[in-house]
Amino acid sequence: MPRVETTVFPRREREEDRRKEREHRKLLDEFFDHSTLLAISRLVNQGQFDALDFPISTGKEGGVFRASRGEEFRAVKVYRIGNTVFRRLPPYALEELRREASVRNFGGLVIAWTRREHTVLGRLTDAGVRCPRPYGHYRNVLVMEFVGTAEGAAPRLQDAAIDDPGALYEELVREIGTMTRTARLVHGDLSPYNTLAFDGKIVLIDVAQAVSVDHPEARRLLERDVTNFARFLGRAGHPVEPAEFLAAVGGDRLGDDPRAG
């Protein structure tokens, strides 16, 4: 007579459950050390969210999790405490962060990086750029608006269906133009991989490395941002020259005082 466990939970299902449990434990060990758990507890006590639901995306630098707050959802970004956050950063971004934070150890820099992303998101939100609204932060944990529905998070533009690439170009011009002219910031790492597609619109994410339009690297970074999207739009069926794109978002007047003239 077969064992009850084998009958109710066939071998394949039990192995899948064990695999999921191993992945869950690995995720906990990688992201939620003691100090991070304390940070999350503090944010819960502040009323920022009630509980973490599941991961949206994870990587070497950190992970984004969906969280519940009553009937609504929020996104919680957890940066790993360590030097992996900064391995992809160009020297100018790391130098600027060190000047702002006045710290040298990686733990302090991660905390400063989290605070910087919160600040930049607030600046973009105030300017009218479509990005996740920031709600709060503590140490290496950032709480922000969840972009998606109850069924799941919004896809990255890279993975979304592009029905009208011409309309997408016009929207990119509006959002990047508002970022440069009104918020007076350049994203610096903009591509279809850190842009979400939601409700027929785009949403800019991963903004911590943004620099002021007055930064010496701003023009080069903006040129790279629009060139990334010019290639993407060309593959989608809407060819556009990077120089035209750059002029359309105000790159030819980058750093000019918008009140002048």
Instruction: Examine the residue annotation and report whether 199 is marked as an active-site residue of this protein.
Output: no
Alpha-helical segments (H) within 103-237: 106-127, 165-181, 218-236
What HEC string does 156-191 produce? EHHHCCCCCHHHHHHHHHHHHHHHHHCCCEECCCCC
| Helix H or strand E encompassing 244 | helix 242-248
8 Å CB contact between 121 and 74: no
8 Å CB contact between 128 and 182: yes
Query: Can you name the CATH fold of 33-149?
Result: Phosphorylase Kinase; domain 1 (3.30.200)
- Burial of 122 from C-beta contacts in 10 A (0-12 / 13-18 / 19+): middle
Question: pTM for this one?
Answer: 0.85
Query: Can you name the CATH fold of 154-253?
Result: Transferase(Phosphotransferase); domain 1 (1.10.510)
Residue of 50, 126, 164, 189 with catalytic role: 189
The rounded Cα 54 to chain-centroid distance in angstroms is 17
Instruction: Examine the residue annotation and report whether 50 is marked as an active-site residue of this protein.
Output: no
Mean pLDDT of 249-259: 75
Domain(s) of CATH 1.10.510.10: residues in the chain:
154-253
44-94 confidence digits (pLDDT tens): 999 999 999 999 988 777 899 999 999 999 999 999 887 666 777 778 777
Q: Is 123 helix (H, G, I), strand (E, B) or coil?
A: helix
Band of the pLDDT at 1, cuts 50, 70, 90? very low
Residue of 29, 53, 206, 252 with catalytic role: 206
Amino acid 106: pLDDT: 79
Of 225, 157, 248, residue with least CA distance to 195: 157
Domain(s) of CATH 3.30.200.20: residues in the chain:
33-149
